[in-house]
Amino acid sequence: MKNKKKGSRCNRNKSDPVMLDGFTKLPDGVLLNILDRLNTPDAVRTCLLSKRTLHLRHMLSNLHIRINSFVPRCGYATLKDTIPMNAAVADATDNILSFRRQDIPLRKLSIGFFLRYYDCLTIGKAVARAMATHNIHSAEFNILTEKPPDYSTIDDHRRDGKQLMTFFCACTDAFAGLTRLHLRNLKLAETDIPNIIATCKRLEYLRLALCQTEDSVLLLQLEHPRLVELDISNANLELIELNSLPNLKRLGFGVWVYPQEPLSFCNVQLLSSLSLTNVAMRWHKVIRLSQFLANIPFVKDLHLNFASEKIWVHPECPKLLEPVLQNLQVLSLDELPEECDIAWTRFFLEAAPSLKEICITVWDHWCEIETDKVEREKQGYCDKTNVEWESSAPDGFRHYNLTKLTIYGFQPNENFTGYIRHVMEAAVNLEDISLYDRKVLECCEELDPKIKVVPSRYPQTIEEQELLRKQITEGLVMASPHATRELAIQLTAEATVLLKYHQGIVVQNLIGDTKIQEASFCFFGPKRCCSVIPPFQVHGDASMMLMLLISRGLASGRISPSLFNQREDHIENNSSLSARLMGLELLVLDEAVHLLDLGFLTDIEKIVDSLPRQRQTLLFSATIPKEVRRVSQLVLKRDDVFVDTVGLGAVETPTKMIVFCTTAMMTEFMYIMLRDLKLNVREIHSRKPQHYRTLISEEFRDSSRLILVTSDVSTRGVNYPVVTLVIQV
C-alpha cells in the first residue's frame, strides 16, 4: 500500500512538468505580464506550481487582493464565513508586502476588506510600511461593512462609522498615500468626511455610497487639490458645495431627498463629465439646467437617470440653454418611463450645437418600482405624465454634429418612429441609428404575477425589421451602418468647404439602402450637384463606391453599381439618365485597388462606356499593380500625369503613428506591450465604451506625438491629420 502511494506521488510529479512546460518556458517579463492580470492570490498560487516560477511571486507589480478570492469551495459565503475570509485578506496583504524586495517597483495596490478592526489594523500597517519603502503609483482601499444595506440598521451604520474612524486614526499614514477610496453604509460625524479627504493628500478617486452624516448636518463642503473623480449616492444631505476641486473631471451624484438642487459648483473648472440619478417625488422641484449648470459650461458628457419615475428636468428654450450646453458632446438619458412621450428630449438637440451622440433608454424596471398604489401615495411618488414641450427652433432647423442615435426599449409606435424622423430630418450628418429591445436583467425574470407588464412589440423577424425601416425612412434617405460611412461624411464636409463660394453647386450626401428613384434624385435635380455616395450594403450584397461626378446642368455623384444593377442594364434602359450622363465633366475613381479586389472591373467598364470621351479623369490608388494600370489605360489619356505624393529624399518622422490589429484581443495585447515599454500609446477597439473611444480619438487627432493601437474596424478610414507612419500587424 505504501509503495502504491509512492508510485502515485511519483506519477503526479512526472505529470506536473508536462502540464506546466509551455507556461514556464516563457520569459519572466511575459509571465509577469500574465500574472499581473490575475487576482494576486491566484497569481501567487500559480507561481507555487513550479520552481521555475517560484521567484515571480515577489516580483508582481500589480497587487489585487479581494475578499472574493477567499470564498469557500461551495461558491458562496455566509456572514460567519466573512471572519476567516477577512483574516485571509489581512494575512495575504501582510505576507506579500513584508517579503517584497524594495528594488522591485510596485505600480498598483488594491485591497478590498471588511471593516473588522484587527484585520484592518494589520492591513493598514502593512500598507503604510510598503508606502514608506516603495513608490506606489496607485493605492486603493475598498472598505466593506459586514451587513449589506438591506439588512443593517441605523445603529449598525453608526457603529461601523465609529469603527472606520478608529481605523483611520490608527493608520493615517496608509490613508495619506491612497489614490482611490471606496466607503459605504456608514453614519459619520459632521467633520469625519472632510477630515478623511484632507488626510488623503494623494486621493484622485472617491466613492461614498450610503455614507450619511448625523441628521442635524445638512451641508457638506468639499475641497481637495488632486481629486479627479467623485461619486456620491444616497448622502441624505440638503446641499453639497464643491468649493475647491480644481482637478475634478468626473462627478456622479445619485438620489437626493430634499426639494432643491443638491449640488453647488464653485471651483470645478475641469469638470467635463456629469452623471445625475434621482427618484423624483412630489416635493422635488424640477431642475432648470440653465441655472444648475451655470458655473460649469464645459460639460462634454451628461448622463441623467430618471429611475422609471417622474422627469425631473425642465425643458428650456435654446437661447437659455446653449451657454451651458455649448460643449456637450455625449448625452445619455436613462430609464425614462415607458408610457411617456420622449419628444421632449429634442430640446437637448436644439440647445447643444456640439452634440455628437444621444443614447436613450426607455425602461420600467419593475424590480425597483413601487407598484402598490397606496404605498406610492404614502411615500410621495408622482403619477407619470408626459412632459409638456414645444419646439422653439426655427423652421428648417439643422444640427451638423450629431452622428449617432441609440435607443434601448424601442417599440414600433409613433412615439419612437416620429421621434426618429424628426432627428433624421434635423441631423444632416447622422451616420448611425441603433434600435434595441427592452433591457432584461436576471432579477426581472421572477416578477410578481400581479404586475401587468405590457409585452414588447420589438420587431423580431427580418420582414418586420424591413417593414419598420420603410416606415421610418418614408421620404428620407436612410444612413446604412457600414464601416465606411465616415469616409462619406468626411468627403461631404470637405466638398462643402471647397464649394463654399460656388453658388451654383450643391453638395448632397446619399448613404446606402436607397431606392433607384431616391438615389437618382441628384441626377435629375434642377441644380448642379456634387453628391457623395459611399460603400453600402443592399440586402447583404456589398456594393462599393465608384465615382465622383460633377456634371453640367445636372447632378453628379459617387455612383454605386447597385444604382445601375437593381434593374438589368439600367443605364441603357433609362434614356434620360444616359443622356444626362453624357454631360459629365469630371470622373474620379478612388480606392482603385479595392474596387478591383471586389470584382467591379466590369461595372467600371460599363459606366465608362456611358460617359463622354471629353472629360477630366482622376484616378487614386495607394498602390499601382498591373490591374490598376490596366484600368488607367481604360479611363486615362496616354499623356496622363503621374503624381507621387512622397518625394525623393523624404525622411519619415514616426512621431505620430497608427498600429492596425486584426482583433480586439490583439489590439489590447499590443497596447499593453507598448505601454510596458514606456511608450506614449492609446488603444481603441470594440470592447471599449463609445465615450472612451471618442475621447481617445479626439486626443489622437489633436496630438503631435502619440501611438494609436486600433482594430481594423474601429478606425479604418477615419481622417487623422499628420500621421507619419501606419503599421498593419
**Is the Cβ–Cβ distance between 303 and 275 less than 8 Å?**
yes
Give the Cβ contact number of residue 372 at 10 Å. Answer: 10
Is the per-residue pLDDT at 575 higher than 60?
A: no
Is the per-residue pLDDT at 557 higher than 50?
A: no
E strands, 257-400, in order: 263-267, 273-277, 301-305, 330-336, 357-362
Which of 19-23, 187-191, 580-584 is the least confident region? 19-23
pLDDT at site 180: 96
pLDDT band per the 50, 70, 90 thresholds, residue 545: very low
Pairing of strands 681-684, 706-711: parallel
pTM: 0.63
Is the per-residue pLDDT at 620 higher than 90?
A: no
pLDDT at site 447: 59
Give the Cβ contact number of residue 614 at 10 Å. Answer: 7
How much is the average pLDDT of 226-238? 90
**Dist CA 239 CA 365 (whole Å):** 28
**Dist CA 60 CA 45 (whole Å):** 13
pLDDT at site 492: 66
Is the per-residue pLDDT at 162 higher than 90?
A: yes
**Dist CA 518 CA 509 (whole Å):** 12
Residue among 518, 597, 511, 593 nearest 555 (CA): 518
How much is the average pLDDT of 577-585? 65
Q: What dihedral angle (degrees, nearest 10) is formed by the CA atoms of 111, 114, 118, 119? A: -40
Neighbouring residues of 647: CB distance < 8 A, sequence distance ≥ 6: none
pLDDT at site 257: 85
Helix (H, G, I), strand (E, B) or coil at 502: coil
**Dist CA 209 CA 247 (whole Å):** 22
Write the pLDDT tens digit of every residue in 256-314: 888 888 999 998 999 999 999 998 888 889 999 999 999 998 999 999 999 878 889 99
Is the per-residue pLDDT at 576 higher than 90?
A: no
Is the per-residue pLDDT at 505 higher than 80?
A: no
Give the Cβ contact number of residue 449 at 10 Å. Answer: 6
Residue bearing cell 481637495? 224
Task: Locate 216 and state its grid cell.
Answer: 442635524
Helix axes 154-170, 117-133, angle to 10 degrees: 30
Task: Locate 248 and state its grid cell.
Answer: 475634478
Mean pLDDT, the chain, as a whole number?
78
Q: At 434, which helix (H) or strand (E)?
A: strand 432-436
For residue 46, what is the DSSP state? H
* Per-residue b or e along 541-553, where b marks 16 or more CB atoms closer than 10 Å to that residue's CB: eebbbbbbbbbee
pLDDT band per the 50, 70, 90 thresholds, residue 126: very high
**Dist CA 701 CA 710 (whole Å):** 14
**Dist CA 559 CA 546 (whole Å):** 6
Which of 349-358, 623-632, 695-704 is the least confident region? 623-632
Task: Locate 37 and state its grid cell.
Answer: 492580470
How much is the average pLDDT of 54-65? 87
pLDDT at site 640: 63
